[in-house]
Amino acid sequence: MNRIQKGVILAGGRGTRLKPQTEITNKHLLPIYTKHMGAVPMIWYPLNTLISSGVEEILIVSSQEHCGHFIEFLGDGSRFKVSLSYRVQDHNNPNIPLGIASALKLCEPFVCNENFAVILGDNFFEESFPEIFESFYKEPYGCYLFLKQHLYPERFGVAQIKENKIYSIIEKPQKYVSNFVVTGLYLFTPDVFEIAKTLKPSRRNELEITDINNYYASQGKAYFSILQGFWSDMGVVQSLLETTEWINNKKYVIFQGINVNEV
């Protein structure tokens, strides 16, 4: 074992930006129609990112109403040659804030004091990152983020960079800050759970992942790479269409060497 072994896919949320499709299913199970692979569920792409980066144990976090769908469809992970487990994020309890950081707090028993990866279930990455996962496993970083230059940075968290570190992240800035947006892949050390416990809900009554990343940035412990390949957030219709078109034009194939039709 020489790289991060544990990864988390956050696949909760209500998928309101993809309605009406998400009125009956979780957005991460929506099909991506490809000419060369057939209808591929969205979650297979972040799953592929983790597996191709060397992760072997993966926890999927989803809502109570949808978690069973993931279990029925993905099973124990044996057909992907990894171990899959599941955790429910309660979306119906008004006393529990939602948000990425809230879901992250549920992963502490799974992580067991190891460095680990977190990926959002609607993020597509052309690249995989075995070298970075190996480096993060060996070194005591705080967090490691993956940035991408984007034409519309105001839609995302935007990183301010100095001397090869991130010193601040501004969420959906109204004025131009930079065009380096924070994508939905994060590497963390186990102290992230203590940081998450100190967070206060935002105006949306959510625990924000940006607050966690900004804590590391304030300590000089937020490192990054700038992505060269294609990346998208498939959580809105336009980017979902753009991603589907890119996959078909490139004939992009996932799970190299794995027969995912074996059950």
Its domain, for residue 118, covers 6-139+184-201+232-250
Query: For residue 27, what pLDDT is reported?
Result: 84
Among candidate residues 22, 31, 109, the one with its CA nearest the CA of residue 63: 22
What mean pLDDT comes out for the span 128-133? Answer: 95
pLDDT digits (tens, 9 = 90+) for 88-122: 876 555 545 466 777 788 899 999 989 999 999 99
Residue 173 lies in a domain: no
Residue 66 lies in a domain: yes
CATH code of the domain covering residue 102: 3.90.550.10
Residue 147 lies in a domain: no
pTM of the entire predicted model? 0.93
Overall number of domains in the chain: 1
Residue 100 lies in a domain: yes
Residue 172 lies in a domain: no
Residue 178 lies in a domain: no
What mean pLDDT comes out for the span 113-136? Answer: 95
Q: Higher model confidence: residue 16 or residue 182?
A: 182
Residue 121 lies in a domain: yes
Looking at the predicted structure, is the pLDDT value of residue 60 above 70?
A: yes
pLDDT digits (tens, 9 = 90+) for 190-242: 999 999 888 887 777 677 889 999 999 999 999 999 999 999 998 888 888 89
Residue 225 lies in a domain: no
pLDDT digits (tens, 9 = 90+) for 69-85: 899 999 999 999 999 99
- For residues 191 and 189, give the distance between their C-alpha atoms in angstroms, rounded to a whole number: 6
Query: Are 4 and 139 spatial neighbours (Cβ–Cβ below 8 Å)?
Result: no
